[in-house]
């Protein structure tokens, strides 16, 4: 009964907690954005049909999204993901090590607005940098790709597709965040602040609130929203994430970033669309030819990536940013 209670609370928190992209408040703001786009585009259909097309929301792929979301919510209720998300412990360990090595104390230093702003920017950039590389490594490392291929196997996209993730992908990403973000936070506390400031945490959360409020749910949707070629060299637009999910060969290994495009620009993976591009979603082979859905149900979605990853391990793990598929039947 306790597990069922925690499961219910986990699902409820996903739709109410402001840290969740699909919280009701963000979904309502997304509806407003879509309404503006629908009006600007000449009201091509009725609004409800434009917002919730049947061919998208009744698609089998969306049903698998729902099942994966509920399964991961059950794992979250069991405490599995919390057990591997240990950023505070990593921060404390590194900070204590720095203090011991230098003979310093934890007394807070003079905290100015400039230091607060600098710390906030560093945290946000560090989080985004981690997301870029966790994402890219899963695409371009053959043993990891099968666990992320599940996400890219979505044949249509809705806001819930953001939760179409294999548990192994979520665990590995959490471990990367724990190490990198924990170290950076410890360095900031040691050099800038001396103690965790609530205001710093609040300003970081405010940054992600804006990200979620200003259309992040359109990243996984049927609605195209481009920021234009200038802004798309700084921020990843929903349209650029559509490109990332494209089955077309020219779109492989592009736009790994979540918030900022600077990492893609820096590491040569940025793709800026010049105009609207019709996207076909799903997995394809090295020529860009669509393959049959390899994860038609929850069982295959959870189990087949292990078999695919094992085959990749037997062949030899590789990281090749210029490769086509990391698996002969999977799109990178």
Q: What is the mean pLDDT of residues 130-136?
A: 93
Nearest to 183 by CA among 133, 144, 191: 191
Q: What does the pLDDT read at residue 111?
A: 64
Nearest to 173 by CA among 211, 224, 220, 132: 132
DSSP H or E segment with residue 91: helix 87-102
pLDDT at 34 over 90: yes
For 283-293, the pLDDT digits (tens) are 998 888 999 99
Q: What is the mean pLDDT of residues 66-79?
A: 95
For 214-254, the pLDDT digits (tens) are 999 999 999 999 999 999 999 999 999 999 999 999 999 99
- Contact 164/77 with Cβ under 8 angstroms? no
Report the distance separating Cα 217 and Cα 223, nearest Å.
Answer: 10
Q: What does the pLDDT read at residue 106?
A: 58
Based on the number of CB atoms within 10 Å of its own CB, is 34 exposed (0-12), middle (13-18) or buried (19 or more)? buried
Q: What does the pLDDT read at residue 156?
A: 97
Q: What does the pLDDT read at residue 136?
A: 95
- The string of DSSP codes covering 194-216 is SS--HHHHHHHHHHHHHHHHTTG
- The string of DSSP codes covering 231-291 is GGGTB--HHHHHHHTB-SGGGTT----SSBSHHHHHHT-----SS-----BS-B-TTS-B-
The tokens describing 215, both together, are 């259309």
Q: What does the pLDDT read at residue 326?
A: 42
Quote the crossing angle between the two packed helices 167-188 and 113-140, to the nearest 10°.
150
Percent of the chain with pLDDT over 70: 88
Q: Any alpha helices (H) in 103-231, and if so which ranges? A: 113-140, 145-152, 167-188, 198-213
Q: What does the pLDDT read at residue 83?
A: 82
Percent of the chain with pLDDT over 90: 62
Kindly give, in sequence order, each residue whose CB lies less than 8 Å from that of residue 151, ignoring residues fewer than 6 positions away.
161, 164, 165, 166, 169
Q: What is the mean pLDDT of residues 32-59?
A: 97
Q: What does the pLDDT read at residue 74?
A: 94
Q: What does the pLDDT read at residue 123?
A: 81
* Residue of higher predicted confidence among 190 and 284: 284
pLDDT at 324 over 50: no
* Residue of higher predicted confidence among 308 and 317: 308
For 246-278, the pLDDT digits (tens) are 999 999 999 999 999 999 999 999 999 999 999
Domain residue extents for the chain: 2-315
Average pLDDT along the chain: 88
Q: What does the pLDDT read at residue 194?
A: 55
pLDDT at 327 over 60: no
Q: What is the pTM of this model?
A: 0.88
Report the distance separating Cα 20 and Cα 27, nearest Å.
Answer: 10
Q: What does the pLDDT read at residue 286?
A: 84
């Amino acid at each position: 009964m306790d597990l069922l209670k925690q499961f219910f609370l986990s699902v409820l928190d996903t739709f109410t907690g402001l840290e969740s992209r699909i919280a009701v408040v963000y979904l309502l703001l997304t509806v407003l954005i879509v309404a503006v786009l629908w009006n600007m585009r000449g009201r091509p259909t009725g609004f409800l049909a434009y917002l919730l097309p049947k061919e998208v929301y009744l698609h089998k792929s969306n049903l698998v999204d729902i099942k994966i979301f509920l399964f991961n919510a059950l794992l979250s209720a069991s405490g599995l993901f919390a057990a591997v998300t240990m950023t505070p412990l990593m921060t404390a360990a590194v900070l204590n090590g720095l203090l011991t090595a230098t003979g310093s104390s934890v007394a807070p230093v003079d905290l100015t607005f400039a230091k607060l702003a600098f710390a906030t920017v560093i945290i946000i950039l560090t989080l985004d940098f981690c997301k870029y590389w966790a994402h890219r490594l899963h695409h371009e490392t053959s043993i990891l790709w099968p666990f992320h291929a599940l996400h890219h196997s979505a044949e249509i996209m809705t806001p819930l597709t953001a939760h179409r993730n294999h548990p192994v992908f979520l665990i590995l990403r959490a471990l990367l965040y724990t190490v990198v973000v924990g170290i950076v936070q410890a360095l900031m506390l040691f050099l800038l602040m001396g103690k965790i400031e609530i205001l710093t945490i609040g300003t970081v959360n405010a940054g992600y609130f804006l990200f979620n409020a200003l259309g992040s749910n359109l990243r996984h949707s049927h609605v195209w929203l481009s920021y234009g070629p200038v802004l798309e060299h700084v921020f990843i637009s929903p349209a650029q994430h559509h490109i990332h999910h494209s089955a077309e060969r020219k779109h492989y290994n592009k736009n790994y970033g979540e918030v900022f495009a600077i990492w893609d620009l820096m590491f040569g993976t940025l793709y800026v669309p010049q105009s609207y591009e019709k996207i076909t979603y799903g997995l394809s082979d090295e020529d860009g030819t669509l393959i049959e859905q390899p994860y038609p149900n929850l069982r295959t979605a959870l189990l087949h990536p292990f078999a695919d990853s094992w085959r990749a391990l037997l062949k030899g793990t590789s990281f090749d940013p210029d490769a086509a598929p990391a698996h002969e039947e999977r799109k990178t």
